[in-house]
Every structure is written in structure tokens, then in C-alpha cells.
Structure 1
Amino acid sequence: MRTVKKPYPSFHAEHVGSFVLPPRLKQARLAWRQGLMTRDRLTEIENEEVLNVVERQKECGLHAITDGELRVRNGIGDFFSCLTGIEVDETVSSDGDMPHPLRVVGKLDFDDSHPFLTHYRFLHQAVGEGVENLAKQTLPSPNMLMYPAIRTNEVYPSLDAFCDDLAAVYRKIIQAFYRQGCRYIQLDDLFWARLCDSQMMAREHAAGFELSELLERCTRTLNQALAQRPQDMFISLHMCCRRFSPNWVHGRGREVMGHAMANLSVDSLFIEYDDRRPVGLEPLRQVSCQKVVLGVIDSHSAELDAPQSVKMAINTASLYVPLQQLAISPKCGFGHCEQQGITEEQQWAKLRHMVNIAHNVWTMPE
């Protein structure tokens, strides 16, 4: 585990990053697409809504604050398409499992004109410099460019060369955000869940890739990306599941998650945690990071989670990880659950409920 100047922030209630898109912002985007609103006016409305979600997070008692990903329109494509060497290509075949159609068209690079830096500066100012709150920037993990249709390209002569450049670009990204005052980055990564899926791995095997090779490749790329981060820059990895089964404690999932937990040089891991039985949770014994954030709050349902059920999940995990190294969060971002009918107010109610449960389990910063 990496030695840091200070311990990981002592938050025991977090969220994954995204929130339900406010109706006002939905209407503004539609008006902009129809040519009825200028880009400047849309940005003004985005700014106002970001300020609102920052205040709502503080009111809920959350301490790691995001902009709710309210500016994101095209998922990971918004971030990656603004890197040098990546473009959106709707003709790319993804076999139905790649989150966004991207392709490599040149050598990868990053520069300070990237719009996410502007977005972060606004968030940083909105959160303020107080010790109680910390602005958190969410970004896609470098492994989100490891999908076959992206990593196999005509630009790089080998996969090694591609991964080396990818890691180097992320080192530049982390330094760029650090210069803007960022001290907490959350990387969202769906690729690990793909490695747990038998159908997806059958395709990889047919293409000549074994699970062990992909595990090592993903681990090495991510660790190299984080190798030169400042000692007071905290990095978490959100191991998304989305359409893949979140029940990672069985079969191949135990091997994948055990490898990740033991070998990734991140400060915390967000894991979707559906199975509340102690059987099968042995991979948690291998955790090398400072904190594990258990995704036990159901972000797909408006119903408030039963406190005793959440506490049972925490107690079960504490058999393998010390209680003070645990935290809780929703399973995924609320922005990905709008199709389930979750409203803004239901979202905030669930977060307040989660914070109250955490207060009952841990001593939280006031």
C-alpha cells in the first residue's frame, strides 16, 4: 500500500458521483439542441444547477462533493473524445458491451484545454476551501479504453505500446487536476465486471486473450497511471457492474475481485455489494487499500433501505476488513437510474437516510 502524508478522508458515507438530471436542465438541453438556446445560456443553467446540487449534498451531510455529472451528455465519450487521438465513431462494433463507440485515430495525449478541467475549477470554487468538504472529480478509468474495439487499432504497433501511452496520459491528467486544486479523483471502471462475465470472456478467449493476461494488463496499466501521483492526491476506483451481475463473490468474479483488491494501488475501492452472507467474501481479506466503500444502498429503488439490513452488510464485511476501513454508498450513480423512476427528492432522501445510518455505525466528521 502506498504511504501517504495523511490518511484517506474519514468519510463513511459517500456517493458514486452522478445525480438525477434536474427537469430544468433537461429542458435547457432540448432547447439548445433545437437551436432555441445559446451554448452560453445553457452553461449558465448548468452552473446554477451544479451550485444547487453542491448545496444539497452538504445539506445531506455528505463530505465528498461532486458536480453530479450534470454536464455529462454522452457518458464516457464526453471525457475520452476530448483527448488527443480518440474520437467518437458510431460505426464501431462493440458486440453490445462497450459503453460508448470510440476508436483510436492517433497517438494518445492530454492537454490543459480539456473541458473537464474547467468544470472542476467551477466545482472546486463552489465547494469552497473548508476542511469539512472535499471536491471529488469523477473520471472514467484508463481500463475503459481496454475494450477490444479500442485497444486493437492501427495506430499502435502493440498492445504494450498502447497501454504505456495510456498510462502516461493518465499521469498527465492527474497532475493537471492536481494543479487545479483537486485532491480526490474517483475512477469509474466497468471493465473489471466484464472480466467476471463468462460470455464476454468467451469472446476474449476466442480472440486469444486469457483471463490472467487481461487481469495483469489492467492492473499494470492502472498502477502505472497512478505511479507518480502526489502523496496527498487520493484515488478511488469504482468497480461498476451496470448490466453485468453485481454478484461478484462467486465463480470467476472471486478471482477477478481478489486480484484487484490485492494488487491495485488505489486508496479506496467502491464495490457493488449485493450478497450479504459471509460465504464468498474471502476476497475482502486481500484488500491492500485504505478503505472499501460498500455499495449497499439501492439506487434503483425509491424505497428507503432497511437500516438493519445495511448494518448487517457492514458487519459481514467487517469480518474481513476492519470497521474503520469501511464506508457505505449507493450501488451506482443516480444519474444511471432515471429509467427506474427515481426523482430528485427521492434521491436526496436516500442519501440523507444513508448518512444517518453511517452516523449510527461510525463517528463521522461534523
Structure 2
Amino acid sequence: MTETRPFRADHVGSFLRPARLTEARERHAAGKLDDAGLRAVEDDCIREVVKKQEAVGLKGITDGEFRRTFFHVDFLEKLAGVSVTYGEFTAAFRKDDGSEVGFRPPTMHVEKPIRHVQPIQGADYDFLAGAVTKTPKVCIPAPSMLHFRGGRQAISERVYPDLEDFYADLAAAYRAEIDDLARRGCRYLQMDDTNLAYLCDPKIRARTEARGDDPDSLTHLYCRLVNEAIADRPKDMTVCVHLCRGNFKSAWVAEGGYEPVAEILFNEMAIDGFFLEYDDERSGDFAPLRFMPKGKRVVLGLMSSKRPEVETKAALKQRIDEAARYVPLEQCCLSHQCGFSSTAHGNELAEDDQWKKLERCVEVAGEVWGE
């Protein structure tokens, strides 16, 4: 029997980097370990994280994003036309105790036409597929990740005087990558998107308007970009999108419920499932789930990847019941709100903590849905 994806107990994709992987990447950066040596260490660590995922009962298996430093940059910089700079601005990541984490994230610019000139995830998918006994899942950044942060100013007006040409080239590049993955056998794809969640934050919406962009128009646009990117996918390929309000060293950027984007997002984006953050009050209530159409699943990110404490079964089941007032229970799944390590820096919990939390996720999903 073919199981429906996303799975009842699922996860966003990234895992805390083992110490020996971090050490190998540091040696590689210092010129003390060559590319082949680094990849050999990555391979070994990925084999281990695959076994651990399968051992706790997960069915959708990732490589932990062990070959990446950032969840988005490492992918997008492999598109021809994209350049990356560092230190242009400081992002205000906040923690629950009110403190801030200083971070100067990489900024992407488009100075030449966007082209897909080589497979980006192909070799990594091939390795993952050969290491799993369950379903391999590939996570890539959503197309909007090349637009929202810099906007018009980050995209050369000389190369793209009309932004519609940029959008068309970007979608075409994604189609080429997804076609390559499909030919290799990939049937479970996740796109990670911070921007649609940021557009839930009143302050960020105001700043977006101040720079000349309409938040609702951007929501429509980002749905269109995903739809155009997956237009040629095989019928049996599951595509999901994960919305994130920021995830860096257990700190976050945005807050606000999904109401500003929900009706557009859930109905216009032609995908199979949405991974939504719902681990604390910053995400608002479940009322926006009333817009979720039949035939799509919502993965409730009720568990936290930012804190080490394992959520109780009773609390999780209560929250699932609350969500089911707005969307049928059979359309729901369970996960953490984000990955454990969206960047190589990782969140503030131990490796043992992440596996205990995932065991709880699988346990609760089994009791709620019987799968």
C-alpha cells in the first residue's frame, strides 16, 4: 500500500551536526582537508543520521542537510547568475527571554541571467536514496528566497528591466532541477520558505509596503512561482512547503498568525501539504486552517526544535484536537515547527534531545492516527 505523504509523523529536514562533521568542515575551510575527504566524512555522518531516523520510526528520511551551511544559500548560489555577499546588514534574531542574537546573514544578488546549468541536489539525492530503506525526502529553498530579502534592489535592472522575465527564468531553473530529481527517482520534495511566514508579521508587512511592495501581491506571486516551478512534476511526486519565522541558534525573526496569507496561500499554491509552525503563541491560533481545502494535508509544527524539553503526549493531543476544530483530523499530521539546524550552527539542544523529541512525535502520531 502506498502511504500518503506528508507522513503522519514527519519532520522539517535538518539535524544537529555531529562534532566530527563540524570539525571536518572547519579543517576543509582551513585548507587542511580536501573536497574528497570532506565528502567522505559527510557520507559517513549521513549514513548514521539515516539509520537514526529510521530507528525512531520516521518514514520520510533526509540527509540532515549535512552538506550545507545554510538551508538556502548553498542551493541558490549554484544557479548561474546568483552572487553572494556577506556582512551587508545585521538580522535581528530574538530569543524567548527577550535577548537578541546578532547575525549578519549572506545576501544574494542577481547580476546575470538566472540559469540552471548543472544538477544541484542530484548527487546528494543519489547518495541518500542508496542509504535509506524508507522514503528519501529532498529539501530545497522556495523560489521566493531569491527575491524577498533584497527585492528589486538585489536584482540587476540592466539584466532584468522587467521583473516578469526574472520570475520566468527563476521558475524555469527550478523546473529543470525538479525534472532532474524526478528522473533520479525523487518523489518527496519539500520547499522551505521564510518569506510567506514573515508576511504574517504586521511590522514586516509595514516595512514591505514602505519599500514599495504590496504584501498580498507578493503572496500571490510566491504561490505562482511555486506552481510554475513544479508544473512538470510527475503525478506521483509529493511537494510540500514549509513556512518558517526564522530559526537560528534557537532564535527567531517574525511573529503573527497565518490570517494575512492563509486564504491565498492554501488555495492558490498547488501543492500537497503545508508544514506550519505552531510551537508557541507567536504563530497565532488555528483559525486560519479553516481555509485549508480538501485534498491537502497540514503538518502541525506543534513541537519545538528550539528547546530541549520534550512535549507531553497530553499537551500535543490537546493541541491536535484544537486544530481539528478548523480542519478535518484526517488532513493533519505532526512535526516540529522547524529543523533542528537550519544553519550549520544548530539550535540550543543536544543531539539526544532531538531524537527523544522525534520519538515522541512518532509515538503521538501513532496513537492519534493509528499509523
1:284 corresponds, among 277, 289, 292, to 289
Judge conservation of contact 1:112–1:176 (CA < 8 Å) in 2.
no
Partner of 1:193: 197
Aligned equivalent of 1:126:
131
Cα 1:124–1:87 change in 2 (3 A) is same
Change (3 A) 1:69 1:101: same
Equivalent pair of 1:65/1:134 in contact (CA under 8 Å): yes
Shift of 1:175: 0.6
CA shift for structure 1 position 328: 0.5
Matched, 1:104 2:99: no
Residue 94 of structure 1 deviates from its aligned partner by 7.9
Shift in Å, 1:113: 4.1
CA distance in 1 between counterparts of 2:276 and 2:74 reads 24
SS of the equivalent of 2:150 reads helix
Asked if the contact 2:193/2:242 (under 8 Å) is kept, the reply is yes
* 2:369 alignment counterpart: 362
CA, structure 1 residues 239+10, in 2 after alignment: closer, same or farther (shift >3 Å)?
A: closer
Following superposition, the deviation at residue 24 of structure 1 comes to 0.8
For the 8 Å contact 1:267–1:290, the answer to whether it is kept is yes
C-alpha contact 1:196 1:256 (8 A) present in aligned 2: yes
Of residues 37-46 and 50-59 in structure 1, the stretch that sits farther from structure 2 once superposed is 37-46
Quote how far apart the aligned CAs of 1:96 are.
6.3
Distance 2:32 2:124 in 1: 24
Give the SS at the match of 2:24.
Answer: helix
Give, in whole Å, the separation in 2 of the partners of 1:150 and 1:142: 13
**93-102 or 235-244, larger mean C-alpha shift:** 93-102
Matching residue of 2:319: 313
Distance 1:31 1:65, change over 3 A: same
Does 2:228 align with 1:224?
yes
Q: How many residues align?
A: 348
Among candidates 206, 213, 217, match of residue 209 of structure 1:
213
Q: How far does the alpha carbon of each residue in 1:65-96 deviate from its partner, in whole angstroms, 9 at most, with x for none?
A: 00000110233111011111111123655876
Distance 1:218 1:113 in 2: 23
Q: Distance in 2 between matches of 1:88 and 1:135?
A: 29
In structure 2, the gaps of 5 or more residues are 94-103, 247-251
Relative distance call for 1:311 and 1:95 in structure 2 (3 A) is: closer
Q: Deviations over 1:273-329 (max 9, x none)?
A: 1468xx943321211352100001111121110111100111111112221211000
Superposition deviation, residue 99 in structure 1: 5.2
CA–CA distance in structure 2, aligned partners of residues 31 and 275 of structure 1: 38
Determine whether 1:56 maps to 2:62: no
Following the alignment from structure 1 to structure 2, what is the Cα–Cα distance between the partners of residues 11 and 224?
Answer: 25
Contact 2:340 2:346 in 1 (8 A): no
Secondary structure in structure 1 of the residue aligned to 2:199: helix
Q: Work out the CA distance in 2 between the residues paired with 1:356 and 1:76.
A: 31
User: What's 1:140 paired with?
Assistant: 141
Q: 231, 235, 240: which one pairs with 2:239?
A: 235
Within 5 A, what are the aligned runs for 1:1-366?
8-9=4-5, 11-90=7-86, 92=88, 100-114=106-120, 116-128=121-133, 133-147=134-148, 149-152=150-153, 153-154=155-156, 155-242=159-246, 243-246=252-255, 248-249=256-257, 253-274=258-279, 280-288=285-293, 289-336=295-342, 340-364=347-371
SS in 2 for 1:196: coil
Mapped to 2, the partners of 1:65 and 1:254 lie a distance apart of 31
TM-score with structure 2 length normalisation?
0.87
**Percent of aligned pairs with the same amino acid:** 34
2:71–2:140: 8 Å Cα contact kept in structure 1? Answer: no
Specify the code of the residue in structure 1 equivalent to 2:37: R
Can you list the C-alpha shifts for 1:43-69, whole angstroms capped at 9, x where unaligned? 101000000000000000000000000
| Contact 2:87–2:106 (Cα < 8 Å) also in 1 | no
Does the 8 Å CA contact 1:261/1:283 hold for their aligned counterparts? no
CA distance in 2, matches of 1:96, 1:159: 28
Q: By how many angstroms is 1:196 displaced?
A: 1.7
Give the AA of the match of 2:146.
L
- Structure 1 residue 199 displacement after superposition: 2.6
Shift of 1:170: 1.3
Query: CA separation of 1:340/1:106 partners in 2, compared to 1, >3 Å: closer, same or farther?
Result: closer
